[in-house]
Amino acid sequence: MDDSFRIFASIATAIVLEAMPFLAFGSLLSALVEVLVSPDRIARAVPRSLVGRIAVGIGAGVILPTCECGVVPVARRLISKGAPAPTAIAYLLAAPIVNPIVLVSTYVAFRGDWGMTGARALVAAIVAGCAGFLVRNLSATEVIRGDGHAAHHDHDHASGSRFLAVWRHAALDFLEMGKFLIFGACAAAALKTFLPPESFGILEASRLAAVSGMMVFAIALSICSEADAFVAASFVTLPAAAHLAFITIGPMVDIKLIGLFAATFRRRVFWILILVPTLLVFILSLLLGGVL
């Protein structure tokens, strides 16, 4: 039992240490949006059409390299500043996958396989677009839960120090999101420590079993999107569909994200963020896996 606890503690610590820098970066980016970007500027930058709004969200994921550990506070801040729900939700789901860092790591992990790299980006874009479509008519108050930041806005901005305001907002976001990250890391570590190794052998029975099982493992293991492709590629006996399922569902839905989603979004949006990626990744992985 002592050995198991040490393994559990080391895995949980490793997950937290791996994710914390990205959460800190996301919190800082969120604070910069809060302090430096006005609602009017966001309104002018986002198109009026639904397709345009979703496209901007996905495109922002390409130019803002935010992994899943830090994307939630950024999306929440964008909505609170007036960004349309389709734009913010599309960014939330797409950014951890379509950013250049993740795509390069995928290309390297799968030894120059452009098909797997492109399929990963395509699945992310489709899922993000569908989720954005489903929240098209929701207002900010119908998307995000109320938080305590509003009470501090006037004080921070009246102080005349935007620098201090940025760090104040970043610290608040980091502390609020950090507790859910720690909970998710502990849950993932428990599964890694106590799950029987032979469980992975069951996945070789069929493509359906492989895709389903790898999706469950991706959600449970909570591996950062910059590294998950290397883990997926190590399962050399599994089909490409299972690899694709693993590297697409994990950055959009994992244990730590489920906690962050529950704390950040209203119930309806929470279920959209859980169910839409799960169903679409399963279907698209089976379809695209046959041609990879």
What pLDDT digit, counting tens, does each position of 28-51 carry? 876 776 677 665 666 677 888 999
**228 and 251 in contact (C-beta within 8 Å)?**
yes
Tell me, what's the pLDDT at 68? Answer: 73
Average pLDDT, the chain: 82
Q: In the structure encoding, which two tokens stand for residue 252, read together?
A: 């959009």
Q: Which residues pair with 144 in a beta bridge?
A: 265
**238 and 206 in contact (C-beta within 8 Å)?**
no
Average pLDDT over residues 129-149: 86
Tell me, what's the pLDDT at 175? Answer: 79
Tell me, what's the pLDDT at 148? Answer: 40
Tell me, what's the pLDDT at 99? Answer: 83
Q: Is 148 helix (H, G, I), strand (E, B) or coil?
A: coil
The per-residue pLDDT for range 148-190, each reduced to its tens digit, is 444 444 444 444 477 787 788 778 767 766 776 687 678 767 8
> Residue 58: pLDDT above 90?
yes
Distance CA 110, CA 35 (A): 40
Distance CA 142, CA 292 (A): 40
Look at residues 129, 67, 51, 124 and name the one whose alpha carbon lies nearest to residue 94: 124
Q: Is 164 helix (H, G, I), strand (E, B) or coil?
A: helix
Q: How many CB atoms lie within 10 A of CB 153?
A: 14
Lowest-pLDDT choice from 134-143, 185-194, 204-213: 185-194
pTM for the predicted model, two decimal places: 0.76
Residue that the structure tokens 């990626």 belong to: 277
Tell me, what's the pLDDT at 47? Answer: 87
Distance CA 277, CA 131 (A): 8
**61 and 98 in contact (C-beta within 8 Å)?**
yes
The per-residue pLDDT for range 64-94, each reduced to its tens digit, is 766 776 788 888 888 988 889 999 999 999 9
Count of helices and strands (H, E) across the chain: 15, 0
Tell me, what's the pLDDT at 153? Answer: 45
Lowest-pLDDT choice from 94-103, 130-139, 280-289: 94-103
